């Protein structure tokens, strides 16, 4: 009797993926309806729902565009997906998700109801002109950047609802809001969190008040507003928080395996007095013919593996966010201030860059390896300056065991700085503001932040380490996440040289504008009345640094190869580079298990995201500074201040004050002695009747007329010209 043959089951078809749909659209090279997609892929009826859901998701992601009879590829239809950044003047730029694309300019009339921070699809029209961004029109809002908005209570409406206005000046509409909970106590002038609902008309939305933040004069409330305005996370999700809580409080003996024990070496940390996370420690030793510089960086990658909840949250944040009264760290404090912080007299895991230099301070060789160190002291910049620069005997006695090493470190740092200066690295002498508070949390002063050579010492060593790491990965032909800085805007630089040459015939525009030539110009203007103008115009010509897997060099540092390695506690880019270095070390056989190397596309995506988050951090920092400055200056309306003209426009000029670090606008509408014309090529305003000219760097006395929190503006009127106003004939 013949045996029954067992019927072999047909191999099951792999589940349909969104990538297959995108591939189909690219191959067909035309828009397709849903029915055509199903027919082309030879799918069955029960796949229809799946296809519908995937098409909907691809539209939500901005990869496909919904058109009248089907769907089309966004790229093929000249559409780009990105985040909208609206400027104070009302227009905006869409920053593409693909970091290789340039930002797209969007006129105010073409915003299509999108808000600042929204994920949008922009339709690009026309070809970008030389030096100009392409222009586009927003055709769809894919995702609101904010589900809730901080808003100021304006008044109570008939019926019990409240009229609010978003605190972000870039959102030009009002909200009529009800209370989520009747127990919320609200008064006019309070700042609240409001969830917008339906649009009533172009200038008004419905909404619901979910939380009361407090009085707008409270700096903590202002910080909460800025964090919300910029989508800065203030809580760690349970997954990442739980992972952090599960980490040990101290490294264990098994963590030390395979690491060099450097605990006996005299490493120290040098930071600001209020710093709480220490991710770098330094040590300098003398060699027979040069120096040995050790830079030890917290080994965050040992505790945070790629793809874990802590890693995903750190990537989402991109970096830590610093505010005058608070910090939103990239990692929970248990890790950032504890286990990974190089606190004194405790063992910590590090990645070390050991650099041997010649007598001039030039790095001749560099070695990278994992180690365990024990910081011998937590020093401050002020301490180091007092001991090494000021030779303060009391402080020197306090730091006596460390003095020889610190003096050697100063010696090497000055030599490295001299080499960096020689190659053309640019250092702008522009002060940063520091806000001082009283015990009640009110701003009492805004003064230039004090810097000294102790700051410079750490900066020189960190730059040297970052360059050594980039060189290490390039030399091995391995991927790297570079910190790149494109060359300055050539047209702006030419304009600067033209302007300066009008008043100083010795200034000639070079054939090639290099960092070295710019540095020589800055040096020649130091101490003259043109120093301020040169620094300001140079700064405005600089482009923003960013991250990229492609090495394009760093213009500002005049560096051919540069990466961020020295701050993995507060920058995700450094964590990525640490992982790449660990993989490189493993490939050389110094570790038993090799880590997978990320591909170019993955690095490109990470670079684009963290560059965007860095831009968010900078914008948030600028906004909170403006808010606190306006709050502080509201008590000084009517007072006179001395300042210098820092920027000129066709509607007036900005004045930077000398008594307090603040900047405000003198509008032409307040100047009634003449009609003024803006000469953009010469950066000045010229009176048509008198010939009186106002130019960059000119000293003036102004009166504060208004300090507006709603518009984040200080408005001045001109009281007198401290330095005599120039006649335009002197400048032509």
Angle at 457 between CA 452 and CA 460, to 5 degrees: 125
Q: Which CATH class is domain 149-216?
A: mainly beta
d(CA 344, CA 452) in angstroms, rounded, equals: 23
Quick one: pLDDT at residue 592?
Answer: 46
Which neighbouring-strand residues pair with 135? 105, 125
Placement of tokens 């340039």 in the chain: 102
* 109 neighbors 91 (Cβ within 8 angstroms): no
Which neighbouring-strand residues pair with 295? 282, 353
CB atoms within 10 A of CB 561: 21
Among residues 583, 571, 370, the alpha carbon closest in space to that of 478 is found at 583
Residue 672 CA to its chain's centroid (Å): 41
CB atoms within 10 A of CB 241: 16
* 614 neighbors 319 (Cβ within 8 angstroms): yes
Assign 3-class secondary structure to 193-260: EEEEEEEEECCEEEEEEEEEEEECCCHHHHHHHHHHHCCCCCCCCHHHHHHHHCCCCCCCHHHHCCCE
Query: What tokens appear for 570 in the block?
Result: 């507060």
Render pLDDT for 157-215 as a digit per residue (tens, 0 to 9): 988 899 999 998 888 899 999 999 989 999 999 999 999 999 898 889 999 999 999 99
Q: Which CATH class is domain 79-143?
A: mainly beta
The rounded mean pLDDT for the chain is 89
d(CA 493, CA 491) in angstroms, rounded, equals: 5
Sheet containing strand 363-374, edge to edge, reads: 260-261, 363-374, 347-357, 290-298, 280-287
Residue 306 CA to its chain's centroid (Å): 23
Question: Which residues, 6 or more positions from 473, have their beta carbon under 8 angstroms from its beta carbon?
Answer: 479, 480, 563, 577, 580, 581, 584
Kindly report the length of the chain.
Answer: 732
Render pLDDT for 71-90 as a digit per residue (tens, 0 to 9): 877 777 677 888 898 887 88
d(CA 361, CA 383) in angstroms, rounded, equals: 24
Placement of tokens 């001749």 in the chain: 364
Mean pLDDT of 487-511: 84
Residue 399: CA count within 13 A, CB half-sphere = 26
CB atoms within 10 A of CB 196: 22
Q: At 188, phi and psi to the nearest 5?
A: -60, 135
Start and end residues for every CATH 1.10.10 domain found in the chain: 18-73
CB atoms within 10 A of CB 327: 16
DSSP letter assigned to residue 181: S
Strand 134-143 relative to strand 104-106: parallel, antiparallel, unpaired? Answer: parallel
Query: For domain 18-73, is the CATH number 1.10.10?
Result: yes
Q: Which CATH architecture has domain 637-731?
A: Beta Barrel (2.40)
- Radius of gyration for the chain, computed over Cα atoms and rounded to the nearest angstrom: 29
* 256 neighbors 263 (Cβ within 8 angstroms): no
pLDDT of 131 strictly over 80: no
Residue 570: CA count within 13 A, CB half-sphere = 18
pLDDT of 424 strictly over 70: yes
Query: What tokens appear for 13 in the block?
Result: 């078809």
Query: What tokens appear for 716 in the block?
Result: 């001045």
Strand 149-156 relative to strand 134-143: parallel, antiparallel, unpaired? Answer: unpaired
Render pLDDT for 451-490 as a digit per residue (tens, 0 to 9): 899 999 999 999 999 999 999 999 999 999 999 999 999 8
- Lowest pLDDT segment from 8-12, 106-110, 297-301, 332-336: 8-12
Confidence category of residue 128, pLDDT binned at 50, 70, 90: low
Start and end residues for every CATH 2.40.50.140 domain found in the chain: 79-143, 149-216, 637-731
């Amino acid at each position: 009797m013949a045996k029954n043959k067992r019927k072999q089951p047909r191999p099951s078809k792999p589940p349909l993926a969104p990538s297959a749909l995108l591939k189909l659209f690219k191959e067909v090279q035309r828009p397709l309806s849903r029915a055509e997609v199903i027919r082309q892929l030879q799918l069955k009826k029960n796949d229809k729902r799946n296809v519908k859901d995937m098409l909907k998701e691809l539209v939500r992601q901005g990869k496909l565009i919904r058109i009248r009879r089907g769907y089309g590829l966004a790229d093929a239809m000249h559409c780009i997906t990105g985040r909208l950044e609206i400027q104070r003047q009302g227009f905006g730029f869409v920053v593409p998700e693909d970091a290789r694309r340039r930002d797209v300019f969007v006129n105010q009339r073409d915003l299509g109801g999108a808000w600042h921070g929204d994920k949008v699809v922009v339709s690009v029209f026309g070809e970008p002109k030389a030096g100009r961004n392409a222009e586009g029109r927003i055709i769809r809002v894919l995702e609101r950047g904010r589900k809730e908005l901080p808003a100021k209570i304006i008044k109570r409406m008939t019926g019990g609802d409240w009229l609010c206005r978003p605190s972000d000046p870039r959102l030009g509409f009002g909200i009529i809001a009800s209370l989520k909970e009747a127990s919320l106590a609200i008064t006019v002038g309070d700042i609240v969190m409001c969830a917008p609902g339906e649009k009533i008309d172009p200038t008004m939305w419905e909404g619901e008040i979910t939380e009361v933040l407090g009085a707008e004069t409270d700096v903590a409330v202002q910080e909460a507003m800025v964090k919300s305005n910029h989508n800065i996370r203030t809580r760690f999700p349970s997954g990442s928080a739980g992972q952090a809580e599960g980490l040990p409080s101290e490294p264990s003996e098994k963590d030390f395996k395979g690491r060099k024990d450097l605990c006996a070496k005299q490493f120290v940390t040098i930071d600001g007095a209020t710093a709480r996370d220490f991710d770098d420690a330094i040590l300098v030793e003398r060699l027979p013919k040069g120096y040995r510089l050790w830079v030890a960086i917290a080994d965050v990658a040992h505790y945070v593996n790629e793809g874990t909840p802590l890693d995903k949250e750190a990537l989402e944040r991109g970096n830590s966010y610093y505010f005058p009264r608070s910090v939103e760290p990239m990692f929970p404090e248990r890790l950032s201030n504890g286990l990974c912080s190089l606190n004194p007299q405790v063992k910590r895991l590090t990645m070390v860059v050991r650099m041997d230099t010649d007598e001039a301070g030039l790095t001749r060789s560099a070695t990278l390896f994992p180690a365990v160190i024990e910081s011998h002291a937590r020093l401050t910049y002020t301490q180091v300056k007092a001991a090494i620069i000021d030779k303060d005997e009391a402080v020197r006695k306090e730091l006596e065991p460390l003095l020889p090493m610190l003096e050697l470190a100063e010696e090497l740092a000055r030599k490295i700085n001299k080499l960096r200066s020689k190659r053309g690295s640019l250092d702008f002498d522009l002060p940063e503001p520091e806000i001082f508070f009283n015990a009640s949390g009110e701003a009492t002063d805004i003064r230039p932040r004090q810097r000294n050579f102790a700051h410079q010492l750490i900066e020189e060593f960190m730059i040297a380490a970052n360059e050594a790491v980039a060189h290490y990965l390039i030399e091995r032909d391995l991927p790297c996440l570079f910190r790149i800085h494109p060359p300055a805007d050539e047209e702006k630089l030419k304009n600067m040289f033209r302007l300066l040459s009008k008043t100083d015939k010795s200034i000639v525009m070079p054939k090639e504008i290099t960092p070295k030539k710019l540095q020589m110009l800055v040096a020649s203007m130091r101490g003259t009345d043109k120093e301020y103008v040169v620094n300001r115009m140079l700064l405005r010509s600089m482009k923003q640094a960013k991250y990229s897997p492609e090495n394009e060099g760093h213009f500002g540092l005049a560096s051919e190869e540069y990466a961020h390695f020295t701050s993995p506690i507060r920058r995700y880019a450094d964590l990525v580079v640490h992982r790449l270095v660990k993989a490189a070390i493993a490939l050389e056989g110094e570790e038993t298990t090799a880590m997978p190397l990320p591909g170019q596309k993955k690095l490109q995506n990470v670079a684009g995201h963290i560059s965007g988050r860095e831009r968010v951090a900078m914008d948030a920092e600028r906004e909170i500074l403006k808010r606190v400055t306006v709050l502080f200056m509201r008590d000084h309306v009517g007072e006179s201040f001395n300042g210098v003209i820092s920027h000129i426009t066709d509607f007036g000029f900005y004045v930077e004050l000398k008594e307090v670090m603040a900047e405000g606008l003198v509008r032409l509408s307040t100047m009634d002695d003449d009609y003024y014309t803006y000469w953009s090529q010469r950066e000045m305003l010229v009176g048509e009747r008198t010939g009186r000219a106002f130019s960059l760097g000119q000293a003036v006395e102004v009166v504060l007329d208004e300090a507006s929190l709603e518009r984040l503006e200080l408005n001045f009127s001109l009281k007198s010209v401290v330095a005599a106003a120039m006649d335009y004939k002197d400048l032509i």
